[in-house]
Amino acid sequence: MYTVEKISSNQVKIEFTIPAEEVNEAYRKAFAQNKNMFRVPGFRKGKAPRSIVENMYGKDVLTSDAVDVLMKDQYGKVIDDEKLAVVDAGSIQNVDMAQDQEAHITVTVYVEPEVELADYSSVEVELHLDEVTDERVQEAIDAERRKLGRKVEVTEGGIQEGDDVEFDYAGTVNGEAFEGGSAEHYTLKIGSNSFIPGFESQMVGLCVNDESDLAVTFPEKYHSEELAGKDAVFHVKIHKITREELPAEDDEFAADVSDFDTFEEYKKSVVEKLEKECAESNRQNKFNAAIGKLATESKMDIPQPMVDRELDMLVRRQTYQIQAYGISFDQYLSMMGTTQDQFRTMMRPQAEFDVKCEMVIKTLLDKPEFKASDEEVLALVAKRELNKEGKMTEDELLKNYREMASQEKLQDVMLERITVVEPKAEEPDDEAETETSDEENKD
């Protein structure tokens, strides 16, 4: 027998009353599971009778394990019967239990919080919508051109942005050479910004066999303290210039990279593809922005176990992404000058926000207006060809895809209720402006 009491918006207290015969059975199981752990003089390991073990170690020696046996049998059944959305394993707050007696055990568990939704009948969000520009279309076409491009050596004319240049360089500060400041036959892509600011831009226009002195200044924050902020001169000599030669934007190119005969048809298809991608991106971003705003404005008391669980997932995801670049997570933290605890503290607000968004979506899906009907579920199945081989019955389809259909319905309905406005431009810091004006007035 048990009672369930909600003691807060995210906590439930379960009080178990367990008959003596079940208590005694739990003690019997606890002893059977642990008898090999007790050492009793005169008995082989695990062969001492339970009564002797209890006399030697105390009557309560098995109580903790007996409680575990009872909770394993009782706890899960209560959670299922009461349909409690438990988010942690719970903690035992009180145990009144002894052999041959009725037991009373109190367990407190965190559950998903009650959510007091903000007004979702209309939602205004600040969002910059994606759009297909001429530059974006050209970038997509150039990406395909580069696949068919080839490297050619430049013998006439000077260096341009994007060229690969092979050259010698020798740097000096106050006329003195410095460690690591020279190299021969070094190759650099102009525009990669991998050298000191101003270095690459001064190379533009130089030709093969040209020599020149490039005057630059090391950044104030530079890995070598001896060079930080110092003026330097690099003498360079150009050996070779290589340039990427791309195919012309013509019908032949279109036929090579697509099923279209003319470049105009191909370009039109590129625009259509980008517009489709853009529309889907805007759709998802609008929905996410609306859910994010509702999460911020709705009232809910998120239990820490939910945040901790989400935080663990965020850290794991970040770890996998870092490892994909060939470095360990500890190396990444060292490069960032932080610790795991500090990183988790930094990520915790994001974890809490993500949980709130999850709870908003779950609460909305419980609303009748967003629940997909049988017809809507079957329409989704047909649209996405989810039963192409016809192996599932209609009942199985309704059971397996109702949640997916409801999520799509929620997104469709909410998108009709969203108004998008351009993000407000950041206002200047009036205090900073005043301080600047004061300084100018002093001059």
| 18-32 pLDDT per residue, tens | 999 999 999 999 999
pLDDT higher than 80, residue 12: yes
Task: Quote the percentage of the chain above a pLDDT of 90.
Answer: 78
| 263-279 pLDDT per residue, tens | 999 999 999 999 999 99
Domain boundary among 215, 245, 275: 245
Cβ-contact 216, 196 below 8 angstroms: yes
183 and 299 part of one domain = no
83 and 178 part of one domain = no
DSSP assignment of 118-164: PP-SSEEEE-------HHHHHHHHHHHHHHT-EEEE--SS---TT-E
Domain boundary among 111, 142, 175: 111
358 and 299 part of one domain = yes
In a domain, 337, yes or no: yes
Domain boundary among 245, 273, 294: 245
DSSP assignment of 329-398: HHHHHHHHT--HHHHHHHHHHHHHHHHHHHHHHHHHHTSGGGSPPHHHHHHHHHHHTTTTT--S-HHHHH
202 and 276 part of one domain = no
272 and 379 part of one domain = yes
Q: Domain of 186?
A: 150-245
pLDDT higher than 90, residue 224: no
In a domain, 300, yes or no: yes
In a domain, 439, yes or no: no
268 and 240 part of one domain = no
Cβ-contact 377, 401 below 8 angstroms: yes
CATH number at residue 181: 3.10.50.40
Domain count, the chain: 3
In a domain, 116, yes or no: no
Residue 384 has which token pair?
């996405």
What is the pLDDT at residue 441? 44
Cβ-contact 110, 403 below 8 angstroms: no
Cβ-contact 169, 211 below 8 angstroms: no
CATH number at residue 408: 1.10.3120
pLDDT higher than 90, residue 221: no
13 and 92 part of one domain = yes
Average pLDDT, the chain: 92
In a domain, 133, yes or no: no
| 88-141 pLDDT per residue, tens | 877 898 899 999 999 999 999 999 999 999 999 999 999 999 999 999 999 999
In a domain, 427, yes or no: no
In a domain, 118, yes or no: no
Residue 58 has which token pair?
């105390």
In a domain, 66, yes or no: yes
266 and 396 part of one domain = yes
Cβ-contact 16, 105 below 8 angstroms: yes
409 and 284 part of one domain = yes
The residue with tokens 């600047």 is 436
222 and 266 part of one domain = no
Q: SS3 for 214-226, per residue?
A: EEEECCCCCCCCC
Higher pLDDT, 94 or 401: 401
User: Whole-structure pTM over 0.75, yes or no?
Assistant: no
Confidence of residue 428 (pLDDT cuts 50, 70, 90): low
354 and 276 part of one domain = yes
30 and 172 part of one domain = no
CATH number at residue 28: 3.30.70.1050
What is the pLDDT at residue 429? 57
